[in-house]
Amino acid sequence: MPPLEADERTTLESWLDFYRSTLAMKCGGLTDDQLRTSSVPPSPLTLLGLVQHMAEVERNWFRRILLGEQVPPIHGPDARPDGPDGGFDLVDDVTFDMARTTWESEIAQARHNCSGRGLEETSPFMGGQVTLRWIYTHMIAEYARHAGHADLIRERIDGTTGV
């Protein structure tokens, strides 16, 4: 639970960490096969795909956009530096442990890239500028949306619900 009384930066970082933890918790205790189980046909959405996607999202916002790094996609051809964040597609040789390690590495890099930067600092984005505050807010919304997806997928797999 994020603190009820904190400064703006702590509040933003705490909510982002809350949703990161929620996604990890939704994946806890499941086998690789279960983590590869899609939600409901025809959707191919899986918990493993969500973790891979969020690694791409972390990389995109906290490396490509915030710092302007030219880093390659992590997961597959649908993950393009100049296009939408990918990662949803699964490949046979990627295990959950591998995907989680990559995701956690991108989170650690994101935290490092944000440390010492003010919320009002800007980076070029879509012909304008975007603040770190906006990026944090966007990431909270992205994780919250996908935590909802993860909750439904997990409930379908084994009936587990809740945060």
Superfamily of domain 8-158: dinb family like domain (1.20.120.450)
pTM for this model (two decimals): 0.92
pLDDT at 81: 46
Residue 114 scores a pLDDT above 50: yes
- Which H or E run includes 128? strand 128-131
The DSSP result for 39-82, as a single string, is: SSTT----HHHHHHHHHHHHHIIIIIITT---PPPSSSTT--TT
Q: How confident is the model at residue 110 (pLDDT cuts 50, 70, 90)?
A: very high
Please provide residue 129's backbone torsions phi and psi, each rounded to the nearest 5 degrees: -130, 150
* pLDDT value for 58: 97
Mean pLDDT of 94-102: 96
Q: How far apart are CA 78 and CA 95, in angstroms?
A: 19
The pLDDT of residue 75 is 78
What does the alpha-carbon distance between residue 57 and residue 91 come to, in Å, rounded to a whole number?
19
* Res 85: pLDDT: 66
DSSP-derived letter for residue 122 is E
Q: What is the DSSP letter of 116?
A: T
Residue of higher predicted confidence among 22 and 80: 22
Specify the pLDDT at position 76.
Answer: 64
9, pLDDT greater than 60? yes
pLDDT in tens, 25-46: 999 999 999 999 998 878 889 9
Please say if the pLDDT value at position 79 is more than 70: no
What is the pLDDT of the chain when averaged over all its residues? 92
Domain residue ranges of the chain, discontinuous segments joined by +: 8-158
